[in-house]
């Protein structure tokens, strides 16, 4: 989280510097100093936005605290199997992970991803925002 905060702070500083350079009066010299600064600051802002988008969180010693199926189903939508009418599901699970400092994160996983997890497992959790990337058991 600290890395993301520092990248966000750098992005804010970069945007403020860009605005200051943009609002400065042009220098009558032959060298386009203002344009060079604007290009450098714009490139830095694009790079920081890219890095923020690709940043991921690695949380060691995370514990799977709960796995619950998510039912986002239209009541009018049913599946029939062997003559029985039963509601369909979307195969999504809400998995709760606990950290060592008693904080938690809930992520939505597919049935395939949640099938490899069990309540009580400990390992290294890797995710980006609310997107589950991997869980490596200890």
pLDDT in tens, 88-114: 556 788 999 998 888 899 999 988 888
Q: Are 62 and 122 in contact (CB under 8 A)?
A: yes
Fold of the domain spanning 57-137 = OB fold (Dihydrolipoamide Acetyltransferase, E2P) (2.40.50)
Record the tokens describing residue 61, joined without a space.
Answer: 């010693």
pLDDT at 38 over 60: yes
| Among the ranges given (3-17, 22-36, 80-94), the one the predictor scored with the smallest mean pLDDT | 80-94
Longest dimension (CA), the chain: 85
pLDDT at 63 over 60: yes
* Domain ranges (residues) in the chain: 2-54, 57-137
How far is it, in rounded angstroms, from Cα 100 to Cα 114?
21
Of 43, 58, 54, residue with least CA distance to 11: 43
DSSP-derived 3-state class of residue 110: strand
């Amino acid at each position: 989280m600290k890395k993301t905060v520092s990248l966000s702070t750098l992005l804010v500083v970069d945007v403020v510097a860009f605005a200051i350079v943009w609002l400065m009066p042009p220098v009558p010299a032959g060298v386009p100093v203002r344009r060079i600064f604007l290009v450098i600051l714009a490139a830095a802002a694009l790079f920081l936005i890219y890095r923020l988008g690709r940043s991921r969180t690695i949380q060691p010693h995370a514990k799977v605290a709960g796995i619950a199926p998510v039912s986002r189903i239209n009541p009018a939508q049913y599946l029939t199997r062997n003559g029985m009418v039963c509601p369909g599901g979307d195969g999504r699970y809400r998995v709760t992970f606990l950290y060592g400092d008693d904080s938690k994160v809930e992520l939505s996983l597919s049935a395939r991803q949640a099938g490899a997890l069990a309540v009580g497992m400990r390992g290294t959790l890797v995710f980006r925002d609310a997107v589950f990337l991997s869980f490596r058991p200890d």
